[in-house]
Amino acid sequence: MEFITATYRVPWDDHLAEKAQAIAVSMTVGSWTDLPDARKPHLRRYLGEVGRVVQDGPSGLFEIRYPLDNVRPSISSLLTVVFGKLSLDGAIRLERLDLPEAFAEALPGPAFGIPGLRALLGVERRPLVMSIFKSENGRNLREFESAFEEQIQGGVDLVKDDEIFMADHNAPLVDRIRAARDALSRREARTGQRGLYIPVLSGSPKEILDKALSWVEAGAQGFLVAAYTLGLDVLVDLRRAGISVPLILHPAFAGGQIGSPERGIHPALFLGQLPRLAGADVVLYPSPYGSVAMPKPESLAVADALRRREPRPPLLPGPSAGIHAGVLPQLFQDFGRDIVINAGGAVHGHPGGTRVGAQILVEAAARFEETRDGSLPPQREATKP
């Protein structure tokens, strides 16, 4: 029999082994001792098993092995089984999931990942650079075209919508897709550089599927999805529906799950392992440097989880928030070349304007590509916005 093994962190208790046993029963078959004896043989194959129970300082770690038959091939099913009602049980954090190959293979995984995105954009070595539209709500199509042109003339590889951009009545998405495609085609004809526009994809799960299919047909080159407000299975559904453009995951609404070392879900699992299974190609999440900074060990652990090469292609991490030219040497030193430089304020708030702000970041990425050891040579001084 195959098992999903979940590891949990709780305050240490000398009776933790007994508590773990009670959890293994309640999260799989309900109450073992109260069931009629005649039913126990039938249910035994669904009963959870306790693995190791160890003390880790003031915390305790314990494992529960869930029979694979208890879980359907979806992220919602997995999380409900291993952490559904258990998440309500006070100070407990889901630290790790070890999944059998059969479960991982039943989910779509990324369509592109690092190798596919690099091939799509024609960028072999350096970090990718993505700028973020700001102040989009209410912007008309001409204003969109002007702002988009400034960003791509600065040399960025990708331009994405702000995740809060919903009021697009004056610049409908199909019109933006076509305008961006034309602008990127002109740049490629002139410079040879390829690029992508990543609009935000929002709505109910059914609306998102219908919109995505329609917009890909209209020429959409990728989507930004706030999948933690919808459930990660929206990515699964998009992949299973045949949406074969890059999907960039925004972490909106994830903070309540990853913000505490005592509760919720470890960031490497929630922002790393699960999005890989679901079908993201890039995951944006807090860097260690900004006003919403994630502790560096956890931020690096997310990147490591995204860039593991088995059983799916590695994904591009996008450590975000507080990214500007002044932190790029540290960013490169900490995260290496397989990242997305994701910046908004550093682009649009530069004293020289949007185009110059974009150029500063692109030039820093290009200098990184020229080095062999991952270090940065001296660079010109850049003004922090």
Residue 378 lies in a domain: no
Q: Kindly state whether residues 304 and 170 are assigned to the same domain.
A: yes
The whole-model pTM stands at 0.91
Q: Which domain holds residue 363?
A: 113-370
Residues carrying an active site annotation? 85
- For the chain (385 residues), the mean pLDDT of every run of 10, in chain order, is 96 95 90 61 86 96 97 96 94 96 94 96 95 85 94 97 83 93 97 97 90 94 95 96 96 93 96 96 94 92 92 91 91 95 91 93 86 43 32
Q: Kindly state whether residues 291 and 247 are assigned to the same domain.
A: yes
Q: Kindly state whether residues 94 and 169 are assigned to the same domain.
A: no
Q: Which residue in the block uniquely carries the two structure tokens 């969109």?
A: 144
Q: Kindly state whether residues 101 and 122 are assigned to the same domain.
A: no
Residue 194 lies in a domain: yes
Of 105, 133, 151, the residue at which a domain comes to its end is: 105
* Structure-block tokens of residue 245: 């453009």
* Structure-block tokens of residue 264: 């919720």
Q: Kindly state whether residues 325 and 257 are assigned to the same domain.
A: yes
- Taking 3-state DSSP, the helix, strand and coil percentages for the chain, each rounded to the nearest 5, stand at 45, 15, 40
Q: How many CB atoms lie within 10 A of CB 191?
A: 12
Q: Kindly state whether residues 351 and 235 are assigned to the same domain.
A: yes
Q: Kindly state whether residues 335 and 296 are assigned to the same domain.
A: yes
Residue 381 lies in a domain: no
Task: Give CA–CA dist 324/344, Å, rounded.
Answer: 9
**pLDDT given for residue 167 in this prediction:** 74
Q: Kindly state whether residues 85 and 144 are assigned to the same domain.
A: no
Looking up residue 63, the CATH number of its domain turns out to be 3.30.70.150
Q: Kindly state whether residues 227 and 293 are assigned to the same domain.
A: yes
Residue 382 lies in a domain: no
Fill in the DSSP letter of residue 334.
H
Q: Kindly state whether residues 87 and 137 are assigned to the same domain.
A: no
Nearest-CA neighbor of 46 among 62, 61, 32, 63?
Answer: 32
Nearest-CA neighbor of 340 among 159, 214, 200?
Answer: 159
Of 52, 86, 105, the residue at which a domain comes to its end is: 105
Task: Give CA–CA dist 26/20, Å, rounded.
Answer: 10
Task: Give CA–CA dist 150/120, Å, rounded.
Answer: 22
Residue 376 lies in a domain: no
Looking up residue 119, the CATH number of its domain turns out to be 3.20.20.110
Q: How many CB atoms lie within 10 A of CB 57?
A: 6
Residue 125 lies in a domain: yes
**pLDDT given for residue 75 in this prediction:** 97
**pLDDT given for residue 36 in this prediction:** 60
